[in-house]
C-alpha cells in the first residue's frame, strides 16, 4: 500500500473555496439538481496520487436545504498559479489554480497506471483502490488523450486510441451496475461488449462506491443510432438485416445474464404480481398527471382527451398477469447504447437509467423491458431520419424493424425467461412500451416539441392494438 504525497489540506481547501466550487459544479452538465437550493458544498475526502501531486481526486458533497445531499467526484488538476493561463479554472489562489482534469486530460493517464499496478492509496477516512482486469493494455506516459464531448451524466476520455476511461460524476453507495455487469458478462463468455480493462473505487467509513471504469476503445465502431439514420436514408434493407442480428445479440445477452443461479445478484427470480401492480400503478399515475396538463397542440390530437382510454387499456393488459422470469437487464437499452463493428454488434453503457437510484438500477426485471426500449428506439429512428437527415424512411420501416428484431430475439432467447404464450408476451411487452412512451412524451413536451409526434404515435399504437 502506497502513502499519498502530502499536499497541505489547507492549501487545497483554500484553492477550492465553497463559493467557487458551488458556482462551477452547479453549471456542469452532469450536475443532477440544478433546480434545488444548495445550502453548502464541501470536500468530504480527497487525495493526491503518489508521485503526481498535481492530480487530486476529490469527493465533494452538495447539501440541500431539505436536509438531503448528493455526492460527486471531481478529478482535479492543480497547477502552480504562475504557470496557469487558461480562463476556465474552477478556483485559484496565489499559490494554486484548480482545473477540471477533463480540461487537461493527460493527467488522467495516472489513473490507468494505478489500475495497472493494482494500487491502494490511503486517504483521511478511507482508501482509493485500483483494479486491473486480465490483459489490460499498457499505456505509455506520453499517450495521446482526448475528451469525449457528447456525454451528459459522466465524463470520458479516449487514451492512445485504444482505451476508454469513464469517470462517474454523481456517486451513490454500492457497486455501479456498469462494472458489475461487465465483470459478469466477461466471466460468462459474452463477447459482444467492449472488453473490461480496469476500474477504481473508494472504500471509506461512510461510503463505498465505484468511481470509474476503463474499457477497450473500439476505433472502427459506428454508433448504432448514427448507423440507423445513415442506412435508413441510404439502404434501409441493409439496416433491417442488421436489426435481425441485433435481436439475436440481445437474446444472447439476456440468456447469459440468466445463466448463473449460484450468484445472488444475477440468479433469475420468479416475478411477483405485486411488482407488476406497482409498475402499472406508477404508469397509471404518470398517465393521469400528464393528460391533465396536456397543452392544446395539433401534434397531440390523436391522444387528446383519451387519458382514461389509455389507463383502461393499461389496466386490461395488467390483468393478464405476468410470468417468465426476472433477471438483471441492461436497463437503458436503445440504439445509442450499441456499437456496430466489423465483428458485429457490441453493447455498451450498462449503468442503467442515470436518473434512477442505484438500487433501482440493480433490480431484476423482465428482459422484455429492454426489448421494449429497443422497439421504441426504432420508432424514433424512423422519424428522426426525416428531422435530422431530411430523408423519409419507408412507410413500413418501423413495423419491419419490430418484426425482424422480435423474430430474431424470440428465436434465440432462453424461452423460460418469457411469459408462456404469445398473448402474454405481447401484453407484457405493451406495458413496457407504454411506460417508455409516457416517459418520452413528458421529455419531448419539456425539451423538443417538434419530436412530440413520436411518443404520441407509440401511445396511439397501444390504443389501436387488438
For the record, the C-alpha cell of 56 comes out as 487530486
> What DSSP element (H or E) covers 110?
helix 109-117
The C-alpha angle 210, 211, 215, rounded to 5 degrees, equals 95
pLDDT of residue 317: 80
Q: Where are the domains of the chain?
A: 9-216, 222-464
- Contact in structure between 210 and 173 (CB atoms under 8 Å): no
pLDDT of residue 6: 44
The DSSP output letter for 174 is B
Question: Across-strand partners of 204?
Answer: 126
Residue numbers in the chain where pLDDT is lower than 70:
1-15, 52-53, 86, 135-138, 140, 151, 321-322, 466
Q: What CATH architecture does domain 222-464 belong to?
A: Alpha-Beta Complex (3.90)
Q: What is the DSSP string of 65-86?
A: TTS-EEEEEEEEEEEEGGG---
Helices (DSSP H) in 390-421: which residue ranges?
397-412
The dihedrals phi and psi of 451, each to the nearest 5 degrees, come to -95, 0
Cα–Cα dist 419/324, whole Å: 4
- Contact in structure between 50 and 121 (CB atoms under 8 Å): yes
Non-local (6+) Cβ contacts of 73 within 8 A are: 57, 58, 59, 60, 167, 168, 169, 171, 211, 212
Coil, helix or strand at residue 269: strand
Q: What is the pLDDT of residues 328-356, one digit of tens each?
A: 999 999 999 999 999 999 999 999 988 78
Q: What is the pLDDT of residues 157-195, one digit of tens each?
A: 999 999 999 999 999 999 999 999 999 999 999 999 999
Q: What is the pLDDT of residues 86-134, one digit of tens each?
A: 678 887 777 778 889 998 898 899 999 999 889 999 988 899 999 998 7
Q: Give the predicted TM-score (pTM) of the model.
A: 0.91
Amino acid at each position: 500500500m502506497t502513502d499519498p504525497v502530502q499536499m497541505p489540506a489547507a492549501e487545497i481547501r483554500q484553492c477550492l473555496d465553497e463559493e467557487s466550487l458551488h458556482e462551477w459544479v452547479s453549471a456542469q452538465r452532469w450536475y443532477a439538481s440544478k433546480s434545488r437550493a444548495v445550502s453548502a458544498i464541501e470536500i468530504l475526502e480527497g487525495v493526491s496520487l503518489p508521485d503526481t501531486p498535481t492530480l487530486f481526486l476529490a469527493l465533494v458533497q452538495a447539501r440541500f436545504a431539505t436536509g438531503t445531499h448528493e455526492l460527486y467526484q471531481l478529478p482535479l488538476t492543480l497547477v502552480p498559479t504562475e504557470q496557469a493561463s487558461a480562463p476556465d479554472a474552477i478556483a485559484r489562489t496565489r499559490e494554486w489554480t484548480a482545473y477540471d482534469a477533463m480540461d487537461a486530460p493527460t493527467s488522467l493517464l495516472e489513473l490507468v497506471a494505478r489500475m495497472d499496478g493494482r494500487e491502494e492509496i490511503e486517504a483521511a477516512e478511507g482508501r482509493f483502490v485500483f483494479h486491473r482486469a486480465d490483459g489490460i493494455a499498457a499505456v505509455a506516459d506520453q499517450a495521446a488523450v482526448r475528451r469525449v464531448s457528447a456525454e451528459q451524466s459522466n465524463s470520458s476520455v479516449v487514451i492512445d486510441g485504444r482505451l476508454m476511461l469513464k469517470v462517474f460524476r454523481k456517486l451513490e453507495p454500492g457497486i455501479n451496475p456498469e462494472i458489475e455487469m461487465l465483470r459478469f458478462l466477461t466471466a460468462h463468455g459474452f463477447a459482444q461488449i467492449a472488453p473490461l480493462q480496469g476500474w477504481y473505487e473508494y472504500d471509506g467509513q461512510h461510503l463505498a462506491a465505484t468511481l470509474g471504469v476503463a474499457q477497450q476503445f473500439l476505433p472502427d465502431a459506428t454508433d448504432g443510432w448514427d448507423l440507423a439514420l445513415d442506412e435508413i436514408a441510404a439502404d434501409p434493407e441493409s439496416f433491417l438485416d442488421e436489426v435481425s442480428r441485433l435481436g439475436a445479440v440481445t437474446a444472447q445477452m439476456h440468456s447469459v445474464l440468466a445463466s448463473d443461479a449460484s450468484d445472488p445478484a444475477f440468479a433469475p427470480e420468479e416475478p411477483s404480481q405485486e411488482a407488476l401492480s406497482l409498475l402499472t400503478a406508477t404508469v397509471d399515475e404518470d398517465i393521469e398527471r400528464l393528460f391533465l396538463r396536456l397543452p392544446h397542440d395539433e401534434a397531440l390530437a390523436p391522444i387528446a382527451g383519451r387519458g382514461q382510454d389509455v389507463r383502461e387499456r393499461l389496466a386490461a393488459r395488467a390483468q393478464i398477469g405476468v410470468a417468465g422470469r426476472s433477471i438483471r437487464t441492461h436497463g437503458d437499452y436503445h440504439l445509442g447504447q450499441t456499437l456496430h463493428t466489423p465483428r458485429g454488434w457490441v453493447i455498451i453503457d450498462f449503468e442503467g437509467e442515470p436518473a434512477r437510484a442505484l438500487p433501482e438500477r440493480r433490480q431484476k426485471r423482465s428482459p422484455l423491458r429492454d426489448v421494449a426500449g429497443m422497439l421504441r428506439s426504432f420508432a424514433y429512428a424512423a422519424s428522426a431520419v426525416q428531422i435530422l437527415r431530411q430523408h423519409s424512411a419507408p412507410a413500413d420501416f418501423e413495423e419491419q424493424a419490430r418484426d425482424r428484431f422480435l423474430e430474431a430475439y424470440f428465436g434465440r432467447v432462453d424461452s423460460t425467461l418469457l411469459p408462456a404464450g404469445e398473448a402474454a408476451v405481447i401484453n407484457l411487452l405493451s406495458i413496457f412500451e407504454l411506460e417508455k412512451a409516457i416517459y418520452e412524451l413528458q421529455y419531448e413536451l419539456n425539451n423538443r416539441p417538434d419530436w412530440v409526434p413520436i411518443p404520441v404515435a407509440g401511445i396511439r399504437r397501444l390504443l389501436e392494438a387488438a
